[in-house]
Structure 1
């Protein structure tokens, strides 16, 4: 089975397009299990007519920041 480091996919430069799940996993250096967990917790996902999922990195970053703030407030 290929390792995560063998599957690295560079993000395009310039404008931030929607990224697929594999690119999101690479960006955050997490497993597919972690992304699925984040989705169950409410991470934003963009509508997409094709197969797989697509994510807007700006929305995901905002969601991650809110999650960090929420966790810090409960600590």
Structure 2
């Protein structure tokens, strides 16, 4: 008898929203920006939380750098 790992449970968008404390708009933006999502045959979306977490970790450094550049630009506009 062999034991195989079960696939991770897939979450509904509402579950992801609650987990991260964000709106549906935010999750939709994440998907547009490349957040991993699986589409069911009926067209509904489901999320693997481990894949979403990995994607979020990849996005964090880029997001911090972008916010830093925006802040510097805003400050330079004030002093100009």
Question: 2:52, 2:17 → 1: CA distance?
Answer: 12
Q: 1:71 to 1:21 in 2, by over 3 A?
A: same
Give 2:14's aligned residue.
22
Root-mean-square deviation (Å)? 1.8
Once superposed, which parts of structure 1, at least 4 consecutive aligned residues long, lie more than 4 Å away? none
Structure 1 unaligned spans of 5+: 1-14
- When the two structures are superposed, what TM-score results if normalisation uses the length of structure 1? 0.69
Matches within 5 A, 1:1-75: 16-73=8-65
Greater CA radius of gyration, 1 or 2?
A: 2
| Greater share of strand | 2
Question: 1:18, 1:58 → 2: CA distance?
Answer: 10
Q: How many residues in Structure 1 have an aligned counterpart in Structure 2? A: 61
CA contact 1:21–1:52 (8 Å) conserved in 2: no
| Greater share of helix | 2
- When the two structures are superposed, what TM-score results if normalisation uses the length of structure 2? 0.65
Structure 2 unaligned spans of 5+: 1-6, 68-80
